[in-house]
Amino acid sequence: MPPVSLGLLAANLVVFLLLQGASGDELLALFALWPPGMPGGPGFQPWQLLTYGFMHVQTLHLFFNMFALYMFGSDIERLFGSRFFLLYYLACVVAAAATHLAITSFMGAAAGPTIGASGGMFGLLLAFGWYFPHRRVLLLFPPIPMPARVFVTLYGAIELVLGVTGTQQGVAHFAHLGGMLGGWLMIEYRRTR
């Protein structure tokens, strides 16, 4: 794996191991993404726009996010170069957080803090579908191969439907879409340079 992808994977693993240790609740309270004005929590802090993206409490959540980083991150980092790749990834994480906060505030649906690297992964997924549209992606369940652009389009549409209908409570669907939005903005920025 290229250096930034490997570093992101290592950072997520280290934070996960810390969360599993004695300091888990303290780290969650300080670094998870809290909606502004939410009672019962420490409240929103600016650094949470980034730090939430390195936190996972469930092993399966961490596994799928790191699997996506492994699958899509290497090709995108080689294409973008390590420096822009890191900026791209972090922009996707921040855009995911901002979108999630804005939409849940508008809908009045914020139930608690948000954690996970999924917004960054959806940004990587968008870039993969954009730059490698004909590359085959094999779904895990069911095992159906399809071109990357079709996979990305379907996945984005499903996330939008699930977010609007409120299906799968506890999943930040609009953060996923926000990661894709951040990725699209960064791709447009890269194209105009």
For position 40, what pLDDT does the model report? 67
Q: Exposure pattern of 92-118 as b/e (b: 16+ CB <10 Å)?
A: bbbbbbbbbbebbeeeeebeebbbbbb
Whole-structure pTM value: 0.92
What pLDDT does 112 receive? 80
Domains of the chain: 3-192 (1.20.1540.10)
pLDDT > 90? residue 2: yes
- Maximum Cα interatomic distance, the chain, rounded to a whole number of Å: 48
**Closest Cα partner for 53 from 69, 31, 84?**
31
**82-101: per-residue pLDDT in tens?**
999 999 999 999 999 999 99
- Report d(CA 34, CA 30) in Å as an integer: 9
- Distance between CA atoms of 55 and 15, rounded to whole angstroms? 6
How does pLDDT run across 27-60, given as a tens digit for each residue?
Answer: 888 889 998 877 666 788 999 999 999 999 889 9
Q: How many CA atoms lie within 13 A of 58 on its CB side?
A: 9
Q: Tell me: the pLDDT tens digits for 109-159?
A: 666 889 999 999 999 999 999 999 999 988 777 788 999 999 999 999 999
What's the pLDDT at 57?
82
What pLDDT, on the 0 to 100 scale, is given for residue 110?
61
Q: What's phi and psi for 33, nearest 5 deg?
A: -85, 110
Helical ranges in 24-117 per DSSP H: 24-31, 48-51, 59-68, 74-80, 82-107
pLDDT-derived band of residue 24, with 50, 70 and 90 as boundaries? low
